[in-house]
């Protein structure tokens, strides 16, 4: 694994030891960023099931200003800290070991709003629609926010979740990536 593009291009990233974390492959990561970017003009990114931190680090490398990375696994948090240090982004990130929903509640209380959100939970979790609704209800998504959900290809999320409209769904073997953008009630979903 490595940073694919931007200011930290080519820097290697560590994987989380053990079998509990499934890192996003470079191929899928490149595909995600070609769909949503490929580069950004500032903003705040949330990586809610951060694992290695690779998606948020890639977003920072490509122009996001700040990132908040959340994971509940101790080994993942250690790996994220190491990877953030490897690319020199320590001053631009906040890293927390916490359950996803508790972390969202804490961030909502802080009044945080995000421009880009990565939701890459364990594939057995199929409730990212509830997570996206909760973030909208708490006012955590900016008007032009993008939410990227990585999930099992057998699972299909609705084309519209609140004001989030699915603009793209792509499959890479047994992995699917669903991209949502904030829209109005008349925006038609792509899928």
Can you give the pLDDT at residue 23? 73
Domain membership of residue 191 (yes or no) is no
Sorted by sequence, the CB contacts under 8 Å of residue 58 that are 6+ apart come out as 3, 4, 5, 6, 29, 33
Average pLDDT, the chain: 93
* Res. 189 pLDDT band, cuts 50 70 90: low
At residue 145, the pLDDT reads: 97
CATH number of 177's domain: 3.40.50.150
**Percentage, residues of the chain above pLDDT 90:** 85
Q: Is 2 within the bounds of a domain?
A: no
Q: Is residue 164 part of a domain?
A: yes
The pLDDT, as a whole number, for residue 124 is 86
* Confidence band of 70 (pLDDT split at 50, 70, 90): very high
pLDDT of res. 26: 83
Share of the chain above pLDDT 70, in %: 94
Residue 5 lies in a domain: no
Q: Is residue 122 part of a domain?
A: yes
Q: What pLDDT is attached to residue 21?
A: 67
In which band, very low, low, confident or very high, does the pLDDT at 2 lie, cut at 50, 70 and 90? Answer: very high
Nearest-Å Rg of the Cα atoms of the chain is: 15
pLDDT band at 191 (very low <50, low <70, confident <90, very high): low
Residues 6+ apart with CB under 8 A from 182: 141, 142, 143, 144, 145, 163, 164, 165
For residue 49, being part of any structural domain is answered with yes
- The whole-model pTM stands at 0.94
Structure confidence at residue 187 (pLDDT): 61
Q: In total, how many domains does the chain have?
A: 1
Domain limits at 106? 26-182
Answer yes or no: is 40 within a domain.
Answer: yes
Residue 15 lies in a domain: no
């Amino acid at each position: 694994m490595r940073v694919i593009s931007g200011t930290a291009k080519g820097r290697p990233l560590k994987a989380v030891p053990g079998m509990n974390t499934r890192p996003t492959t470079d191929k899928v990561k490149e595909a995600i960023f070609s769909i949503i970017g490929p580069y950004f003009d500032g903003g705040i990114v949330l990586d809610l099931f951060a694992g290695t931190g690779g998606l948020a680090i890639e977003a920072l490398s490509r122009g996001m200003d700040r990132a908040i990375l959340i994971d509940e696994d101790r080994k993942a948090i250690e790996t994220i800290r190491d990877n953030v240090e490897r690319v020199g982004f320590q001053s631009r990130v906040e890293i927390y070991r916490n359950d996803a929903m508790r972390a969202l509640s804490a961030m909502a209380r802080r009044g945080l709003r995000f421009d880009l959100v990565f939701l890459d939970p364990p594939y057995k979790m199929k409730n990212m629609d509830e997570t996206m609704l909760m973030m909208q209800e708490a006012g955590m998504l900016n008007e032009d926010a993008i939410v990227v959900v990585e999930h099992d290809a057998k699972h299909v999320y609705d084309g519209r979740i609140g004001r989030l409209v699915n603009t793209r769904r792509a499959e890479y073997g047994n992995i699917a990536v669903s991209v949502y953008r904030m829209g109005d009630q008349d925006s038609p979903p792509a899928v």
